[in-house]
Amino acid sequence: DEAIRIADLAQQMGIKAQDLIKNLIGMGVMATINQSIDADTAAIIAADFGYDVEKIGFSEKEFLAPVHEDKEEDLRPRPPVVTIMGHVDHGKTSLLDVIRKSHITSGEAGGITQHIGAYHVTTPRGEIVFLDTPGHEAFTAMRARGAQVTDLVILVVAADDGVMDQTREAINHSKAAGVPIVVAVNKIDKEGADPDRVKRELAEHGLVPEEWGGDTIFANVSAKKKIGIDELLELVLLQAEVLELKANPNRRGVGHIVEARLDKGRGAVATVLIQAGTIHKGDAFTCGLHAGKIRAILNDQGKMLKEAGPAMPVEVQGFDGVPDAGDEFVVVADEKVARKISDSRKGKQREKELAKETKFTLDKFLAAK
């Protein structure tokens, strides 16, 4: 499992990589400068050059505290994290817009959601965090990486259009992830709106309304005319209550990347959804292949924060590179540890890529024969 790159081994012994490779060939090992050899081979080679190789195991697990499970008494209620899904043009952006009482739709090029943001909303009944996904890619990408960030899905279905391809897709994604759905039947202000038809179509897909003996919550809304919005939010909070969402705010912060980008002035920045613990300005962290130290925390209003706790979506500055959506964000003891973990991950990644390349070359070689 332990391996060392030939270039690194040669450098550590102060010899030319070519000489090392020559010795390897003598042992019947064919390798190039960027490839890795296992620790045992490295030890034999090093002995040839008069060196002893000391194996120092590195397991990032021991650094990724806390390793313990949270105690029940440390858990506190946290707001639900909600993703709005549905067919294109059924009103996802409009609904989010009216919920935030801002104007996302008008600022979008062509009216299509440009990227994922995450927003924190306070209602008289409680707080809700919304993720604004472009289509369903973000949701799928995160699930593919094992990141479960959404507690609830609001499925938007236009009352004049009914169940469409992306409606079915959204249902399948939510079911596969085990995330409950609240249905928002939108555009009920429109002529030709038929909310009952939407109910019948969704019932056929297993989303049976409560009044028909099922357990799916439906809300009739109009994002345009601002009808039924408060009721929808109340129903979302009601559904969330059943889930008894809790987190321990008093531990090192962990979360997932919702979106990330390279900012001209501020370098790599990312929206992190904190899922447990609290992050603080100055904390060292690892995130996917990257590491860093939190230079600034901003909330969805652009306000600078000193810290952020569970279910809060915040923009974090201080990454040494742009992470991927779905990457896990973990606060660690200090920058040295953060660097160590990211170096170890980068090394493993490089090995994987080289293994792929080698296999590819070998495949070509075999195919040519």
- Minimum distance, C-beta of residue 236 to ligand GDP, in the bound complex (Å): 17
Q: How far is CA 185 from the centre of its chain?
A: 28
Residues 6+ apart with CB under 8 A from 352: none
Nearer to ligand GDP, 25 or 88 (CB): 88
Residue 228 or 309: the one with the smaller Cβ distance to ligand GDP is 228
Pick the stretch among 72-80, 91-99, 278-286, 357-365 that binds Mg ion (CB under 5 A).
Answer: 91-99
324 binds, among Mg ion, ligand GDP, none (CB under 5 to 8 A by kind): none
Minimal distance, residue 38 CB to Mg ion, in Å: 51
Minimum distance of Mg ion from residue 135's CB (angstroms):
9
Q: Report the distance separating Cα 248 and Cα 77, nearest Å.
A: 9
- Cβ atoms of 332 and 102 within 8 Å: the answer is no
Structure tokens at 322: 């742009």
Residue 186 site contact among ligand GDP, Mg ion, none (CB < 5 to 8 Å, cut-off depends on kind): ligand GDP
- Indicate the residue whose CB is closest to Mg ion: 93
Q: Which does 162 bind (CB under 5 to 8 A by kind): ligand GDP, Mg ion, none?
A: none
DSSP, collapsed to helix, strand or coil, labels residue 274 as strand
Nearer to ligand GDP, 64 or 223 (CB): 223
Instruction: Give the burial string for 225-237 (b: 16+ CB within 10 Å, else e).
Output: eebbbeebbebbb
Q: Which is nearer to ligand GDP, 86 or 180 (CB)?
A: 86
Binding site for ligand GDP (CB under 6 A): 86, 88-94, 105, 111, 113, 186-187, 189-190, 222-224
Nearer to Mg ion, 66 or 111 (CB): 111
Q: By CB under 5 A, name the one of 83, 113, 167, 186 that touches Mg ion.
A: 113
DSSP class of residue 91? S
For residue 286, the partner it binds in Mg ion, ligand GDP, none, with Cβ less than 5 to 8 A by kind, is: none
Smallest distance from ligand GDP to CB 142, Å:
19
| Strand, coil or helix: 125 | coil
- Closest approach, Cβ 216 to ligand GDP, in A, equals 20
Tell which one of 35, 93, 167, 286 touches Mg ion (CB under 5 A).
Answer: 93
Sign of CA dihedral 273, 277, 282, 283: negative
Of all helices (H) and strands (E), which one includes residue 350? helix 335-368
The number of beta carbons lying within 10 Å of the beta carbon of residue 114 is 12
Question: Binding site membership for GTP: which residues?
Answer: 86-93, 132-136, 186-189
For residues 225 and 353, give the distance between their C-alpha atoms in angstroms, rounded to a whole number. 53
189 binds, among ligand GDP, Mg ion, none (CB under 5 to 8 A by kind): ligand GDP
**Residues flagged as binding site:** 86-93, 132-136, 186-189
Q: How far apart are CA 285 and CA 363, in angstroms?
A: 40
Instruction: Write phi, then psi, for 172 (nearest 5 degrees).
Output: -65, -45
* Site of interaction with Mg ion (CB under 5 A): 92-93, 113
